[in-house]
Amino acid sequence: SSEFNVMTKLKQVTSIDLTVNAHIVELDDPRLFEYTFAYMCEVQGCILSDEEAKGLREYLLRGGFLMVDDSWSSWGLEHFTDELKKVFPDRVLEPIGTDHPIFHSFYTIDNIPSIQGRRWGRGIGPPQCYGITDDHGRLMVLLNWDNDIGDGWEWAKIDRYAGLNAYKLGINYVLYSLSH
C-alpha cells in the first residue's frame, strides 16, 4: 500500500497525470525500461545475479532512477555496497547532503527526517542518504540508510508527522527522477 499512497499524494499535489498502480519487475526483465523510477527495499540480504546486475546497470545508464529504502545497520550498508559493485565496479556509493538538488526539486528539505520502521523501531544513528551518479552528475541510485520512507507512506494516516515527511521525500525523489 505504500507505493499506492505516495502515488496518490503525488497526483494530488502536482499536475502529473499518472495511473496509480505499482508493478513488481525483476531487475533483468526488459519491462524495467518502461519505468523511470524503481524502488527496492530491505536490501540487506539482496544478492544480485550477473543478469540482474547487467540489467540494472543498463537501466540506470539509460536514464532510470533507483530508490533503495528500509536499509539498516552498518553491515547491511556494507553488504549492499558490495552488491552495487557488481552493477558499477568503477563507481562508489557516496554520502548525499541536503544541498543536493534532489532535496529541492519540489519541497525544500534542509534536514533528512528520521522515519523509523513500524515493526522494528529506532535505527542506530541519524538517517543518511547515499548515492551513485553517472558521468554527468545525475543521481542514478539513492539509498536511504537508517530510514524507512516506505513505512512513512504506508502508515501516513496513523503517524501524520512521519507520513508528511515521507511524502515530501518521495515526491522530491520522483520529480528529480523525471527531470534529470
Instruction: Retrieve residue 42's grid coordinates.
Output: 530491505
Most confident of the following: 19-33, 114-128, 129-143: 129-143
Q: Above 70 in pLDDT, residue 161? A: no
Please give the share of the chain, as a percent, with pLDDT higher than 70: 88
CA-nearest of 143, 50, 46, 159 to 95 is 143
List the domains of the chain with CATH numbers: 2-179 (3.40.50.12140)
pTM to 2 decimals?
A: 0.87
Tell me the CB-side half-sphere exposure of residue 150, using CA atoms within 13 A.
Answer: 18
Contacts of 56 (CB under 8 A, 6+ apart): 27, 32, 48, 66, 87
Q: Above 60 in pLDDT, residue 142? A: yes
Least confident of 53-57, 84-88, 127-131: 127-131
Q: Which residue has the higher pLDDT, 9 or 87?
A: 87
The pLDDT tens digits of the residues spanning 48-81 come to 999 999 999 999 999 999 999 877 777 778 888 9
| Burial class of 139 by CB neighbour count within 10 A (0 to 12, 13 to 18, 19+) | buried
